[in-house]
Amino acid sequence: MPPRLLARTVLAAALFVAAGSAPLLRADDNARLATLSKLVRDDAPQVRLEAVRALATIHDARAADLALGVLDRPMDPTLDYALWLTINDLSDVWVAAFESGAWKSEGREKQLEFALKALRPELASRVLGRALAVHPLTRDGAGPWIELIGQAGSAHELRLVLDQTLAAGFDDAAGVRALRALGDAMRLRKLRPEGDPAGVTRLFDHANAGIREQAVRLAGAWKLPGVTARIGHLAGDDTTPMVRTAAIETLKQIGGKEAVAELTRLAALPRPEIQQPALAALASLDLPAAVPGLLGLASTLTDETQAQDFWRAILPVKGAGKILADSLKSRLDQGAKDLVAPGAARAGMRVAREGGRNDMELVIALARAAGLASDVQAFTGQLIRDLAAKATRQGDPIRGELVYRRDSLACMSCHAIGGAGGKVGPDMTSIGASAPVDYLVESVLLPNAKIKEGYAALMLTTRDGTEYTGTLARETPQEVVLRNAAGAEQAVPKADLAKREVASTSLMPAGLIDPLSEGDQLDLFAFLSRLGKPGDFDASKGGVARRWRLTQTVHTDAQAGQEDWPLKAGWEDRRWTPTYSLVKGGLPQPVLNEVLKSELWSSRLGVYAGTEITVAQAGPVHFQLTANPAAGLWVDGRRIGGAGASQVELSAGAHRVVVRLDPKQIPAFLRLESPDASFVLN
C-alpha cells in the first residue's frame, strides 16, 4: 500500500477504534463526522470501507446519511457488506430522520433503495408506509415507489400495489411495472401480497399484452390453484408471442399432471414457434414423455440457427442429452435413417459441448444419425504447430475476418474487438499481438486445454433441476447473474440454488470450426494473428462507429405515411438488424448488402444505418462520414449534413445518429468518425 493511502486507512480505522462501542453522541463526534465525510469519498476503496464502518459508531442520522453517500462511488461486495452493517447499526436514527422528514429521498432513490433492503423487514415496511402516505401511488406510477415496494415492501404494501392494479388505478405502463414488482418480491424474497391474490387472473383478459404476460407469470409464481387450463389456452391462442412464451414457461413452473397434459397438447400443435418451447418445458417436467416429440422435431429442423436455439432450450434439462443419445442410438441400431439433418446435428454437437457441458455420447450419436464423420479428433501438439505455420504462410486475414464474422460460428456473439461484440469470452482486440499463433490455434480447436483466467464457466443447478451455465456477470446478496453462451444475462435467485460449481470445461464450444474447410480455418487463424498489430486489424483507437443497426424502408412504409420511421424508431424495434463494423472501422458494401437482403418483390426506398453516441460535454460535435454524395447524416431526427465533414451543437448525453443511404447507390464503404463523442459499442 502506498504510504499516503496507508496513512488515510489508518486514520479511518483509528477513528473507528477510538470510538470503541460508545453508543452515545460524544463531544468530538462533530469533528469525526467532518473527517469521515471526506474519507468516505476517498478515491481508495479501502479508505471508503474503513470510513463507512467508522461512521457506524456515531449514533447520529448524519452518519447514516454520509455512509449512504458512498453509493455515489464505485461499489464492491466488501463495501456493500460494510454499508449494510453500518445501516443496520444506525437503523433507528436513520428511520427516525426519514419519518421526521429530515432525510429526504428526492434524487437519492439509490440510497433509499439500499437502506430499505438493509433494514429489518418491519422497519422497511414502516419507512415505505410513511413514504406512501406522503407520495401516494399515482396513476402513471411516477417515482421509484413501485419498484421499491417490490424490492423491500411487506405483504401489506404488496397488497396495496395489487389492489391498485386490479382497480385499474394505474395506466398500462405503470400496471406492467406494478405486476413486475410483485413478481420480483416473489422471486427474490418469496413474499406475496397479504390476503387472497387470485384476483390477478382477471387480468388474463386485459387488452394490454404486457399486463396479460405479467399476470400469467404471477399466477404461476404464486402457484394459484385452478389456473392451468386457462394458461394453457393463452399458451396456444394468445395473439402476442410474448404472452404465449410466458404462458408456456408458467405451465412449466406450475408443473403437475394437468400442466403436463396441456404441454403435451401444445407440443403436438403444427406450429414450431409453440411446439419447440412447449417441448422444452415438457422435457423438464416429464422427460420420457417429451422424447418422441423432441426426436420428431429434430428430424424436421434444417436451419442451423433455429436448430441451435432448439438444442439450447433442450439440453439444459437434466438428463436430456443422455436420454436423447440413447434413443437415437437404439433407433440407429434398428436401421432408422435420416433421423437428424446434418445442419441440425452440427448445431446439436456444438451445443452438447458448450457451456461447460461435454456430452460426448450425444455428440457421437448425432454424428452417426446425420451421417457425419464423428469429429472426435485428437489434436497433437505437432498438428497444432503445423496448422499455425501454414496459417502464417498461406492464410488470408481479410477473408479470415469474414469467416470470423459468420453467424454460424458465433465468435462475435461471445467475443468483442475494440469493445464491440459479446462479453462472454475475452476481448480479442490485441490477441494477435500478444499471443503466438499456435496458442490461438489451440484455443480455438481445444478450448478446454487451457482456460483463460477469469473466464471459467460456472454451473448452477436450481432446486427444480434446471442447469444454468455461463460466466459470472455479477452477483448480489440475492441473485447470481450469469452471462450464458448466447450472451444473454440470466439471473438465478440464490434462494432457488441447489448446487454451484466451477466447470472444468470452457464455455467456448469445442468443434466450432470443424465444419470449416481447411482454407477457411487458415484464413481465420491468419486474421486472429493480426489482431492488434498496426494496420487494418488494429481496433485499439476509438472515435469510430463500431455498433450499427441497419434497416430499409419499402413502399408499404410510404403508403402508411411512415417513410422516415427509421429516423425515429428505437433500437429495440425488430425491424433493425444489428451488425458490427470491420476491425478497421466501417461497413463494406457486401456486409451492407448481406444484412439487408430484401424481399425481391419489394423495391427499397431508403437504407438506414444507425448508431448511438454519448457526448460528455455540451458543445460542437464534428463528424466525418465516409460514404457517397447520396448519403445523408441525421442526428436525433434532424439532418445535419452528408458525406464529408459536418458539425452540430449537441447537449451532453446520448444521441442517435442515422445515415440514410440511397438503395440504388450503396457506398463501397461506410464509415463514421467523430473526435468529440464516444460511440456506444453494445
Selected range binding ligand HEC among 128-136, 167-175, 302-310, 439-447, rule: CB under 6 A:
439-447
Selected range binding ligand HEC among 154-162, 270-278, 447-455, 629-637, rule: CB under 6 A:
447-455
Per CB under 6 A, 443 contacts ligand HEC? yes
Per CB under 6 A, 388 contacts ligand HEC? no
Per CB under 6 A, 409 contacts ligand HEC? yes
- Residues 15, 90, 485, 583: which binds ligand HEC (CB under 6 A)? 485
With respect to ligand HEC, which residue has the nearer C-beta, 293 or 356?
Answer: 356
Per CB under 6 A, 531 contacts ligand HEC? no
With respect to ligand HEC, which residue has the nearer C-beta, 328 or 513?
Answer: 513
Smallest distance from ligand HEC to CB 512, Å? 5
CA dist list (Å): 649 to 551, 558, 638, 643, 656: 27, 31, 12, 18, 14
Per CB under 6 A, 405 contacts ligand HEC? no
Burial class (CB in 10 A: 0-12, 13-18, 19+), 87: buried
Smallest distance from ligand HEC to CB 227, Å? 37
Per CB under 6 A, 482 contacts ligand HEC? no
Per CB under 6 A, 415 contacts ligand HEC? yes
Cell 433503495 belongs to 113
Per CB under 6 A, 411 contacts ligand HEC? yes
With respect to ligand HEC, which residue has the nearer C-beta, 186 or 444?
Answer: 444
With respect to ligand HEC, which residue has the nearer C-beta, 485 or 613?
Answer: 485
Pairwise CA distance, residues 470 & 15, whole Å: 43
CB atoms within 10 A of CB 489: 12
H/E segment holding residue 172: helix 172-189
Pick from 676, 681, 638, 631: which is nearest to 657 by CA? 638
- Residues 348, 447, 566, 585: which binds ligand HEC (CB under 6 A)? 447
- Residues 110, 120, 452, 499: which binds ligand HEC (CB under 6 A)? 452
Q: What is the dihedral of CA 130, 135, 141, 144, to 10 degrees?
A: -60
Per CB under 6 A, 354 contacts ligand HEC? yes
Find the binding residues for ligand HEC in span 498-527 (CB under 6 A).
506-509, 512-513
The interaxial angle of helices 272-285 and 241-254, nearest 10 deg, is 10
Per CB under 6 A, 67 contacts ligand HEC? no
Instruction: Detail the DSSP E strand segments found in 109-205.
Output: none
Q: What angle do CA 388, 390, 394 make, to 5 degrees?
A: 125
Per CB under 6 A, 539 contacts ligand HEC? no
* Cβ-Cβ contacts under 8 Å for 604 (sequence gap 6 or more): 552, 553, 554, 596, 598, 663
Q: Are strands 547-554 and 577-580 parallel, antiparallel or unpaired?
A: antiparallel
Pairwise CA distance, residues 341 & 552, whole Å: 33
Smallest distance from ligand HEC to CB 403, Å? 8
- Residues 54, 127, 431, 582: which binds ligand HEC (CB under 6 A)? 431
Q: Which residues of 542-565 are buried (b: 16+ CB within 10 A; e: fewer)?
A: bebbbbbbbbbbbeebeeeeeebb
Per CB under 6 A, 395 contacts ligand HEC? no
Per CB under 6 A, 470 contacts ligand HEC? no
Pairwise CA distance, residues 582 & 659, whole Å: 17
Site string (305-344) toward ligand HEC, x via CB under 6 A: ----------------------------------------
Selected range binding ligand HEC among 98-106, 113-121, 161-169, 446-454, rule: CB under 6 A:
446-454
Per CB under 6 A, 587 contacts ligand HEC? no
Cell 441497419 belongs to 550
- Residues 19, 328, 414, 459: which binds ligand HEC (CB under 6 A)? 414
DSSP one-letter string for 555-570? HHHHHTT-TTGGGT--
With respect to ligand HEC, which residue has the nearer C-beta, 323 or 360?
Answer: 360
Site string (555-574) toward ligand HEC, x via CB under 6 A: --------------------
Grid coordinates belonging to 587:
461497413
Q: Which residues of 422-443 are buried (b: 16+ CB within 10 A; e: fewer)?
A: bbbbbbbbbbbeebebbbbbbb
Three-state DSSP class for residue 270: coil
Per CB under 6 A, 444 contacts ligand HEC? yes
CB 251 within 8 A of CB 262: yes
Q: Are strands 653-661 and 669-673 parallel, antiparallel or unpaired?
A: unpaired
* Cβ-Cβ contacts under 8 Å for 121 (sequence gap 6 or more): 152, 154
Per CB under 6 A, 410 contacts ligand HEC? yes
Pairwise CA distance, residues 260 & 413, whole Å: 34
Per CB under 6 A, 440 contacts ligand HEC? yes
- Residues 84, 222, 455, 669: which binds ligand HEC (CB under 6 A)? 455
With respect to ligand HEC, which residue has the nearer C-beta, 175 or 509?
Answer: 509
With respect to ligand HEC, which residue has the nearer C-beta, 252 or 353?
Answer: 353
Smallest distance from ligand HEC to CB 387, Å? 13
Selected range binding ligand HEC among 438-446, 537-545, 552-560, 576-584, rule: CB under 6 A:
438-446
How many residues sit close enough to ligand HEC to count as binding (CB under 6 A)?
27
Pairwise CA distance, residues 545 & 680, whole Å: 8
Q: Which residues bind ligand HEC (CB under 6 A)?
A: 354, 404, 409-411, 414-415, 424-426, 431, 440, 443-444, 447, 451-452, 455, 471, 485, 506-509, 512-513, 528
